[in-house]
Amino acid sequence: MNRRGFLQLIGATGIAALASSCNRINSVMATLPSSTNLARFPEKTEMILLTDRPPQLETPLHYFRQDLTPNEAFFVRWHLEGIPISVDLRTFRLNVSGHVRQPLQLSVDDLRSQFQPISIIAVNQCSGNSRSFFEPRVPGGQWKHGACGNAKWTGVSVKSILDRAQVKTGAMDVSFNGLDVPPLPSVSDFVKALSIDHARDGVVMIAYAMNDQPLPMVNGFPLRLVVPGWYGTYWVKALSDIAVLPHPFSNFWTDKAYRIPNAPNGTESPKDLAKDTIPINRFNVRSIFVRPDPDEILHPGMPTEIEGIAFDSGYGIRRVEVSTDGGATWADARLDPEIGKYSWRRWRTSWTPRNRGQYQLMARATNVVGDTQSKEQWNRSGFMWNVIQQVDVKVG
């Protein structure tokens, strides 16, 4: 397409978008910022609306009282406007190409019938989960704590597929592309990569089922890359192309975006931005309160159940401590049994407040290698939030 044709296309796209947006005007942007908006998208329940095009939907926190996050409530985050809205399983193929002896074109049925199925319970979490809590505030998806979820993923290991494709010697990276397309040719297609060793570790998998059901379209139907313990940016949705590369992978989404300061916990100072940055990778350790509700009024002398979840990148949660006095004193919470290395782990404690007043609840998780949560953290992109959470409750 020449430049003129391209520009006309852009114009036409714009007109189409504008015209269709005029069909149902029921909202006026007069003052900002907004209160929480809820929205229902196809195959999804009512979720917190960040953006509608492309969709970014956050899970209401009460769903985290379940060990597995229901598919219809699982968070949604796309980068590019052109997300897939229709997939024909008769023609859809997962292509495996590049530095291999045997390129492959596999249907979803092929994956289901020709490979050993595996299942894993794993947390997926957006790199920018909890971004809205950074101070000073940073631009980006203004998530609270609901850009994560825990699901049982079923599919095939990437290793088994690469073995079938017979990777040649000298492979370095493996790139993963999905069906989503950029709105302009100048925007990089969303493609991510893992090292060949990571891709072949037997844990990284391609899921065709999520909690024993096909994935919702907006969660990556029909196939999604699952990278347990790593941030969601690597979990490519609507996965359609795998390429084995004899050289390091390089594109905008790896070289420029999704980078963190090369410093402990990806932290830097707003006044002195880190010059040395690296691609975001494994989850740090964190915990999230799921009970009581922030606006729940508790009563003196009445036992109250405090509950939350904690997870890390797969080492395992060893301890969660809870404070009911703003961090002055801490006591161990009870941990539910582990349900998987890459799953979150539930913790609980009972608390009987003595007096009326305001209380600050805090939770601090520690994993088996001794990583824990801190009180302060900041980076320019708003990634990897794991500051000790404080929930203010009223006893009245």
Partner 1 sequence: MTLKIKSVVLALGLAALVTGCGHIPNNSRKADRGIGNAKMEPMLDSKTDSPVHTIVMPHDEPVFSPGEGRDEFVTACVVCHSPRYITMQPQFSRTTWLSEVKKMKDVYGAHISDEQALKITDYLFSINGKAGTGQGPKGTYGE
CB 145 to partner 1: min, Å: 16
How buried is residue 26: exposed, middle or buried, by Cβ count under 10 Å (0-12/13-18/19+)?
exposed
CB 395 to partner 1: min, Å: 31
* Stretch of residues binding partner 1 (CB under 8 A), selected from 32-40, 242-250, 284-292, 364-372: 32-40
CB nearer to partner 1: give 32 or 328: 32
Q: Is 381 in the site for partner 1 (CB under 8 A)?
A: no
CB nearer to partner 1: give 142 or 343: 142
Q: Is 39 in the site for partner 1 (CB under 8 A)?
A: yes
Contact 231, 281 (CB under 8 A): yes
Q: Is 32 in the site for partner 1 (CB under 8 A)?
A: yes
CB nearer to partner 1: give 92 or 231: 92
Q: Is 169 in the site for partner 1 (CB under 8 A)?
A: no
Other C-beta atoms lying within 10 Å of the C-beta of residue 135:
10
Q: Report the residue from 70, 117, 141, 327 that binds partner 1 according to the rule CB under 8 A.
A: 141
Contact 133, 228 (CB under 8 A): no
Q: Is 51 in the site for partner 1 (CB under 8 A)?
A: yes
Q: Is 53 in the site for partner 1 (CB under 8 A)?
A: yes
Q: Is 183 in the site for partner 1 (CB under 8 A)?
A: yes
Separation of alpha carbons 136 and 131, rounded Å: 11
Nearest to 181 by CA among 82, 77, 86: 82
Contacts of partner 1 in 241-280 (CB under 8 A):
252, 256
Separation of alpha carbons 374 and 265, rounded Å: 10
Q: Is 50 in the site for partner 1 (CB under 8 A)?
A: yes
CB nearer to partner 1: give 14 or 357: 14
**Count of residues of this chain found to bind partner 1 when the rule CB under 8 A is applied:** 67
Q: Are strands 317-323 and 357-367 parallel, antiparallel or unpaired?
A: antiparallel
Separation of alpha carbons 252 and 189, rounded Å: 9
* Stretch of residues binding partner 1 (CB under 8 A), selected from 177-185, 265-273, 298-306, 310-318: 177-185
Query: What b-and-e string marks burial along 231-248, b requiring 16 or more CB atoms within 10 Å of the CB?
Result: bbbbbbbbbbbbbbbeee
Query: What b-and-e string marks burial along 65-104, b requiring 16 or more CB atoms within 10 Å of the CB?
Result: eebbbbbbbbbbbbbbebbbeebeeeebebebebbbeeeb
CB nearer to partner 1: give 127 or 323: 127
CB nearer to partner 1: give 76 or 322: 76
Locus of tokens 């964190």: 286
Q: Is 154 in the site for partner 1 (CB under 8 A)?
A: no
- 181 forms bridges with which residues in the sheet? 82
CB nearer to partner 1: give 210 or 320: 210
Q: Is 45 in the site for partner 1 (CB under 8 A)?
A: no
Nearest to 152 by CA among 112, 185, 118: 118
Separation of alpha carbons 309 and 68, rounded Å: 11
Q: Is 1 in the site for partner 1 (CB under 8 A)?
A: no
Nearest to 231 by CA among 335, 337, 122: 122
55's CB contacts (< 8 A; 6+ apart) are 41, 76, 78, 83, 218
CB nearer to partner 1: give 42 or 301: 42
Q: Which residues form the interface with partner 1 (CB under 8 A)? A: 3-4, 7-8, 10-11, 13-15, 17-34, 37-43, 46, 49-55, 81, 83, 85-90, 132, 137, 139, 141-142, 183-187, 214, 217-218, 221-222, 252, 256
